[in-house]
Structure 1
């Protein structure tokens, strides 16, 4: 029997237009990568130009969102200089983070961990599914149970990871594209022929093979070319990079406001003179018409990226307004599906928006994905954020009496007294993640006069 969460998640399907597809691709880029790509586009496309700061004028609120009243008087502060960011998480960590922010059951998560550990660098499943099913702790997973979890993974970002081969990987991505039923059926039929058959065949041969006309086959082949046969490669190891916040949250007239950072906000437009001259030309300049269309699409895609980033950041800050007032100890539990529902987007899109996108707050710079955390139960039946619990653990350790460090079990009991239900092993996991040594090492550190410093 499938779990309720799986039934809901496998029933979702996102249909995207070509423009939205492009905007989603741009969402994967950091601000520095986006700047590089736009500079290249400016060099290559005569119809594109940048807007100067004094030409922009008042945005009329289009680049800001009010997220709630500000109870304190914390200053917005001055934007910091560029800071060095940690290298990107690899594919396995990126998928694991998304799964941790989902509503999967513990058993489903165990199955998912086995699957993502068995992915190769392309994101494809490199192990026999039957063998993996037998490795699930507790009891082997049945085929339906395993397949349901694999389908969830294939719908994460990047889409298609967990597929057994390239053809299935492309087929999963194809289902997320907005295509006519005729073109979709033709694309599926072409995939069924095998990728080797597609490589050397011409349009007429392929059309005859699947019983379609050449125009439909051309459209289907174009749809297939836009897919990524190796989605895992984009999360390979990269060097650390310097970052500037993409969005800023500050106080304005007693309310918290989220704004796009003008320092990194892309400003592109189509050159009106060239556009007008092109409109006066005959239909002969097909290449130039193509460049003009490309310029229009890129400008619109960047606008959609900005709107999406602002909408998601605003929703996150509305949910985590307590953090702005009181710090991480006031963080609320929040998972991807909550923000996805609030902004009307797919969870994989929210994952793209929050990965390698940074927000400047009065409490420092944070990656947007930092504000997501799993739920822990409380004694009165409520829920608290795992981030807030980590902050409590850090506070408890920092308040230890000299020479009397607390064991994980004792910390768990103290948290229980404060209404948080947590197992000793979970305390140990959080403590280790924050770089806090175990009780014996803390005792030795005190005897040596060393100071224990936890990291966030």
Structure 2
């Protein structure tokens, strides 16, 4: 038996407490950050909050109020009372959702009508409880056609609006969160009652994973915000932009907006009280460190959001000049590369955040689109390609509709490198029938 002694070099990164908190603060929306500041101030006497907004505290719903005692996921009396007292007019939420329809340029007039109809028929908790058969009959469309539009609605901000029930809502939230634990989807689909009962050992045994992994997934699910609390800030303030990009005397200016954020300062009185008290030095150091972490985290968050906005302005100049139709393909990886940070940092930075431009307010994530290479070496956005497919179909000879291959040939002749299979996929996403069905339509 031979034993060889060898050396290898390995690079590893350990997340510090500071970095973990900075990443946590970075992914907060402005409303979530506001709640986080109040929470920290209640725990730390060194943190003094100015301009308290008591109403904002009432807008935060504790997920623990939800109980999953049966398959219908009924609300307990306390939660129901909370919801009843917080349900006001839905117009602001409807307005915010309606304003997102034009962001999807590949929609036809029927698509837009159905989306508006669905938005106007959301219930008081922003679930879609309307009889789908009645919608199918009203607009004379197939069930698959309607389902595709419901899927689209559920991607509107806030994510999950339009879910048919609470289970579907949770699954949508998990599917749209790149940081969701791997087990979260299975737990919600198959064992939601065990999650509600906090049955960590049972879940661990069922899935043959450690109790730590099971607990991580359960805690994640139980801390997902219900749709009502997500819509609170939209209902009260419509969509509040986190950043504004505008032209001032011919120059682009970027402003990070936080007018409603509570200001924090150090409570000097408590600092003086504990500073020289030898019996409480550990507590003094902890409070001081937590205060510093909070202020540094907020400053770093704003700097990162500003940096992402600056890169977007540099990489998407046509969009800021002309609007959504000029949006170029862009990925999180490209922005991360420019800023020399991990892709997940960019994902956290744009989560639930909005940017105001001369052409309206957009969710940051809507400015990231896929693309396909053309012969010039540049990229054509998927939105542009879908628009060209629509135009080609609209201009075709109705007695000789274009096949997918003919559309592919036309796009290739325009310099767009695309396969027939991709054309077929985009055509289906546009709810355009195949050539044989269009001939007899």
What interval of TM-score do these two structures reach, taking the shorter chain for normalisation?
A: 0.5 to 0.7
Give the deviation of 1:420 after TM superposition.
Answer: 1.1
Give the deviation of 1:373 after TM superposition.
Answer: 2.5
Give the deviation of 1:403 after TM superposition.
Answer: 6.4
**In the alignment, structure 1 residue 233 sits paired with structure 2 residue 221:** yes
Partner of 2:184: 121
Pick closer, same or farther for the CA change 1:381–1:299 going to 2, 3 Å: closer
Give the deviation of 1:317 after TM superposition.
Answer: 2.5
Partner of 1:438: 433
Select the structure that is richer in helix. Answer: 2
Give, in whole Å, the separation in 2 of the partners of 1:370 and 1:327: 12
Structure 2: gaps spanning 5 or more residues? 1-9, 53-91, 98-156, 161-171, 190-206
Residues 393, 411 of structure 1: 8 Å contact kept = yes
TM-score by structure 2 length?
0.55
Give the deviation of 1:230 after TM superposition.
Answer: 5.7
Residues 90, 237 of structure 1: 8 Å contact kept = no
Pairing of 1:241-260 with structure 2 (within 5 A): 241=231, 242=234, 243-260=239-256
Partner of 2:18: 19
Give, in whole Å, the separation in 2 of the partners of 1:266 and 1:323: 33
Deviations 1:379-410 (A, max 9, x none): 2343333344344445656x647968766545
Give, in whole Å, the separation in 1 of the partners of 2:326 and 2:397: 27
Partner of 1:382: 378
Give, in whole Å, the separation in 2 of the partners of 1:251 and 1:238: 38
**In the alignment, structure 1 residue 87 sits paired with structure 2 residue 153:** no
Give the deviation of 1:308 after TM superposition.
Answer: 1.6
Give, in whole Å, the separation in 2 of the partners of 1:423 and 1:12: 41
Partner of 1:41: 40
TM-score by structure 1 length?
0.53
Residues 356, 367 of structure 1: 8 Å contact kept = yes
Pick closer, same or farther for the CA change 1:418–1:311 going to 2, 3 Å: same
SS in 1 for 2:24: helix
Give, in whole Å, the separation in 2 of the partners of 1:19 and 1:436: 49
Residues 333, 372 of structure 1: 8 Å contact kept = yes
Deviations 1:429-448 (A, max 9, x none): 33444x54436799699x9x
Pick closer, same or farther for the CA change 1:416–1:236 going to 2, 3 Å: farther
Partner of 1:275: 271
Residues 369, 382 of structure 2: 8 Å contact kept = yes
Deviations 1:166-190 (A, max 9, x none): 48969xxxxxxxxxxxxxxxxxxxx
Pick closer, same or farther for the CA change 1:376–1:164 going to 2, 3 Å: farther
Pick closer, same or farther for the CA change 1:395–1:367 going to 2, 3 Å: farther
Pairing of 1:99-248 with structure 2 (within 5 A): 119-121=182-184, 165-166=209-210, 228=216, 233=221, 238-239=226-227, 241=231, 242=234, 243-248=239-244
Give, in whole Å, the separation in 2 of the partners of 1:12 and 1:38: 35
Give the deviation of 1:346 after TM superposition.
Answer: 1.0
Residues 334, 371 of structure 1: 8 Å contact kept = yes
Count the aligned residue pairs: 295
Give, in whole Å, the separation in 1 of the partners of 2:313 and 2:388: 21
Give the deviation of 1:83 after TM superposition.
Answer: 3.0
